[in-house]
Chain A
C-alpha cells in the first residue's frame, strides 16, 4: 500500500511538473506579451526601449530558462502579480476557490442525494419502466449542452418569471437567503447535468453487488427484497460510487467553467476563462496549474479508494 501510494504520488507530481512546462509554453504563445501591452499603452516607446525592457524582464531568454526562472520564483512563494485584478495572484485565487467549493459542494451534494435513491431503485427493479426512465435521464444529462441548459434556466426563472437573478453573486453583507438566490441557478445547472450520470454509476454498482453471493444468502435467509437492497447492498455499492465522486470532484473544477462564466459566478472556472481571455499570463498560469493539480488529486484519491477498499474487506464488514 505504501509503495503504491509513493509511486502514484510520484507519478502525479511528474505529470504536474510536465504540465507546468506545457502550460507555461502555451501561455507564452498567447497573443501579446507584457512588453507589447506596454508599447500600446505608451506611444513614445521605441523599439530599442522594447528590446531593453525585454532583456530586463528576461523575455529574450530561451523558453526553458524562462521556465526555470519562473519555477524557482513560484516555488519560493512568488506567484507573480495579476494584471487584470492588480493584486497578487494568490489574493485573487483564494476567494475564487472558496466560491467554487461552495458551488460545487452544493451541486455534488444535491446530485448525490438524488442519485443514490433513484439509482438504487432502478437497480432493484432492472428493466422496469423506472429503470429505463433513469437510463434516459442519465443520457439526457450527459448529452445536454450545459451552457444551453443554463440559458434556458435563466430565461425561465429570470426573464419570464423574474424570481431569481440571472447571474453574479450577492454582496458580502447580504443575508443568507439573498446569497442563496444567486447560488440556486448555477447549482441547479450543475446538478441536472451530473445527476443522471451519477444515478447510472449507483445503478451499475448496485447491480454488481446484488449479484454477489452474500446477498443471495441474505435473500435465502428470508430477508425482504427491499430490506436486502437498502440495508445490505447499498453499503457495499457505495464504494465504487464514492470513488467515482472523488474523481468527479476534481473534474468539476474545470467542468464548471462554463456554468460559472454564464452566471458570472466568480469561481475558479470563470477566473481561468477571464484570465486567458484577458491575457493575464501570471494568473492564467497559476489558475490552470491549480485546476490541473486538483483534477490529478481527484483521480489519485479515486485510485487510492479503489486500492484501499479491497473487496474481501468489504465482504467481511457486510457479514457482521
Chain B
C-alpha cells in the first residue's frame, strides 16, 4: 500500500507537497479522502509518503542493529570464555541504561563538533542517517543475545568440527557455517525489533529530533498535529493509528515466528 504512494498520487491528481492555503485543515471530502493539513496538503498522500519514510527508516535501522548484534553475538558465542563474558557484560550494561533520555542527547548532538564535514551535516538525509545510527546503537542488544544463544548450541554440532577438520579458520566457520544456521533466529529478532525501532523513530521525530520536515514521517506529522490539537484534532488520529497498526503487526508476526520456530512454546 505504502509502496504505491506515487501511483495513488497520480490517481488522485494531487501532489503531496502541494500547498493549498485556501483549503487548510479541511475534513474528509471526495478530493481529499482524509482531509487536508495546516498547509492544505492532502493528508492521505502525506500519510503514504510518511509511511514510506517511517517503514524504510525502521527497516534500515533494524537491519543495521541486527548486523551489529549478529557480529557481537556470534563472536561472543563462538569464542566463549573471557571475550564472551566481556561482550555480554557490555550488552547487559546497555540494556540497563535509560534509553530514551540518552537517545535524546545523542539526537541533540552538534554534528559539526564531532568533526563531520559540512556538506554531510547540512544535507537533507542527515536526519535519516542520524536516526538509523542512533537506533542501531541501542537496538542491537536483543539480536546479540538471541544470536549468542543460538551460536552456543550450533557450535557444538559435529559439522563445525568437520569444517575444522578440513582446515577452516575461525572466520570461515563463523560466517560460512554458523551464520547460515542463524538465519531464522535473526529473522525473528529483526521482526521483533522492527516494531520497537519504528516506535523509537516516531518518538524522536515527534520530539523534533528525528526525521526533519519537509520530509514527512508518521512521527513528525504528529508534531504538527499536536500544535493544532484544538483546531483540527482529526489530524492527530491517522498517523498514530498507522504507527500503532504497523507496530502491532510486526510484534505479532515476530511472536508467531518465534513460537513456530521454538517447539518449547508454552500452552
Contacts and interface: CB of A to CB of B under 8 A. Distances in A.
Interface string B201-235: 01100110000000000000010011001100100
Contact of A139 (B105, B233, B248): B248
Q: Which of B96, B100, B203, B236 has the most CB of A within 10 A?
A: B96
Given A147-B203, A159-B233, A160-B233, A127 B98 contact: no
24 contacts: A15-B96, A23-B105, A26-B109, A29-B113, A139-B252, A144-B248, A145-B206, A147-B203, A148-B244, A151-B222, A151-B229, A151-B240, A152-B240, A159-B233, A250-B98, A254-B98, A254-B99, A257-B101, A261-B207, A272-B101, A272-B104, A273-B207, A277-B108, A292-B98
Interface in B154-170: none
Main secondary structure of the interface of A (DSSP, over half): helix
A142 interface: yes
Given A15-B93, A207-B266, A288 B108 contact: no
A19 interface: yes
Interface in B103-137: 104-106, 108-110, 113-114
B195 interface: yes
A231 B109 CA distance: 54
Contacts of A160: 233
Nearest to B89: A11
A29 B225 CA distance: 31
Interface size class of B (residues with CB under 8 A): 35 or more
A296 interface: yes
Given A31-B110, A151-B225, A261-B207, 15 more contacts: A18-B93, A31-B108, A31-B109, A144-B244, A144-B247, A145-B240, A149-B240, A151-B229, A159-B230, A254-B99, A272-B104, A276-B101, A287-B101, A288-B98, A288-B102
A295 B96 contact: yes
A148 B236 contact: yes
Contacts, number: 131
Contact of B101 (A139, A148, A254): A254
Q: How would you classify the secondary structure of chain B's contact residues: helix, strand, loop or mixed?
A: helix
B251 interface: yes
B229 A251 contact: no
Interface in B226-267: 226, 229-230, 233, 236-237, 239-241, 243-244, 247-248, 251-252, 255, 266-267
Given A126-B267, A277-B108, A258 B203 contact: yes
B199 interface: yes
A284 interface: yes
A147 B113 CA distance: 31
Interface string A269-285: 10011001100000010
B195 A143 contact: yes
B108 A30 contact: yes
B98 A253 contact: yes
A158 B133 CA distance: 38
- Most chain A beta carbons < 10 A, residue from B100, B207, B237: B100
Interface in B69-102: 89, 93, 96-102
A295 B97 contact: yes
A7 to B, nearest CB: 12
B144 to A, nearest CB: 17
A295 B98 contact: yes
A126 B267 CA distance: 7
Contacts of B101: 254, 257, 269, 272-273, 276, 287-288, 291
Contact of B110 (A30, A140, A291): A30
A194 interface: no
Contacts of B226: 151, 262
Contacts of B113: 28-29, 31
A155 B233 contact: yes
Contacts of A149: 240
Interface in A71-110: none
